[in-house]
């Protein structure tokens, strides 16, 4: 099948596109990851987020180990056609491998009078309970 919509995307030199996952409802930005052509095609096909793991160099069906699947409600593409935005429902309410709701839990604030990153969001689930089931 000719996937015209996949051809519209300007894949980078590694054949990847950056992907932002945003939660429907709360509109929280949950995480950021990458997809290759196969990952995006699969995401559209099954309606769940499938990323490309750059470290493991393989498709990563988010939730396959943790159960924290992302049901995809919308797939958007930006003006330059090189960034994807997913609107998802986050199973378990936990997107981050640290057990937090989102991956963006470090906020620039100050510590000891110097600017520094401060963890501002709570751990909702023990990571040991996420992965060692």
User: Which spans of this chain sit near a second copy (rule: CB under 8 A)?
Assistant: 3-5, 8, 18, 20, 22, 26-29, 31-32, 44, 74-81, 83, 85, 96-98, 100, 103-108, 114-117
Q: Least distance in Å: CB of 40 to a second copy?
A: 9
Least separation in angstroms between CB 17 and a second copy: 11
Listed in sequence order, the residues at least 6 apart from 51 whose beta carbon sits closer than 8 Å to its beta carbon are 19, 33, 34, 35, 39, 59, 60, 62
Min. distance of Cβ 22 from a second copy in angstroms? 6
- What phi, psi does 128 have (nearest 5°)? -60, -30
Q: Which CB atom, from 59 or from 73, has the smaller least distance to a second copy? A: 73
Q: How far is CA 133 from CA 38, 103, 120, 128, 130, in A?
A: 29, 22, 27, 8, 7
For residues 29 and 91, which CB has a smaller minimum distance to a second copy in the complex?
29
């Amino acid at each position: 099948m000719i996937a015209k919509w996949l051809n519209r995307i300007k894949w980078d030199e590694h054949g990847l596109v950056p992907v932002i996952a945003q939660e429907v409802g709360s509109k929280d930005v949950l995480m950021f990851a990458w997809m290759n052509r196969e990952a995006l095609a699969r995401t559209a096909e099954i309606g769940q987020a499938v990323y490309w793991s750059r470290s493991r160099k393989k498709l990563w069906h988010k939730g396959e180990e943790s159960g924290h699947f992302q049901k995809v409600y919308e797939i958007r593409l930006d003006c330059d056609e090189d960034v994807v935005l997913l609107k998802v429902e986050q199973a378990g309410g936990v997107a981050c491998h640290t057990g937090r709701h989102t991956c963006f839990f470090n906020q620039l604030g100050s510590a000891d009078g110097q600017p520094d990153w401060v963890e501002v969001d709570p751990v909702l689930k023990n990571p040991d309970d996420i992965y060692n089931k």
